[in-house]
């Protein structure tokens, strides 16, 4: 099942979504790598305004991203083959 389809399924089953979101937060908090948004939600517009994708972005991925050092960020985005439009987008997410 594609991640996007999984998110849609979880959105329709709120308890499952909550469990998944908590597991993602726990993964991030233990220092493990989080898949990037361009992998989690392929083909999605980068201009999310609300919903599950945005909650995941702000509660899970951005805290993970901000914890990385500049050199680690470059390794991470090269590992995950970042699309050009996401490279521009995440340049705005520096802290």
Question: What does the pLDDT look like over 60-88, one tens digit per residue?
Answer: 888 889 989 999 999 999 999 888 888 88
> Mean pLDDT, the chain, as a whole number?
77
- The residues spanned by each domain of the chain are 3-91
Q: What is the pLDDT of residue 72?
A: 92
Q: Using one digit for the tens of pLDDT, what is the confidence trace for 41-63? A: 777 655 565 677 787 888 888 88
Q: What is the pLDDT of residue 31?
A: 73
In sequence order, the 6+-apart residues with CB closer than 8 A to the CB of 39 are: 3, 80
Look-up: residue for tokens 């914890």? Answer: 67
Structure confidence at residue 71 (pLDDT): 93
pTM summary value: 0.69
Element (H, E) at 18: helix 14-29
């Amino acid at each position: 099942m594609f991640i996007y389809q999984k998110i849609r399924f979880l959105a329709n089953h709120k308890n499952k979504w909550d469990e998944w979101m908590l597991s993602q937060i726990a993964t991030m908090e233990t220092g493990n790598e989080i898949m990037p948004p361009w992998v989690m939600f392929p083909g999605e517009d980068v201009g999310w305004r609300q919903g599950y994708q945005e909650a995941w972005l702000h509660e899970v991925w951005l805290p993970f991203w901000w914890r990385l050092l500049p050199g680690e960020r470059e390794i991470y985005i090269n590992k995950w083959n970042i699309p050009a439009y996401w490279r521009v987008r995440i340049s705005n997410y520096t802290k």
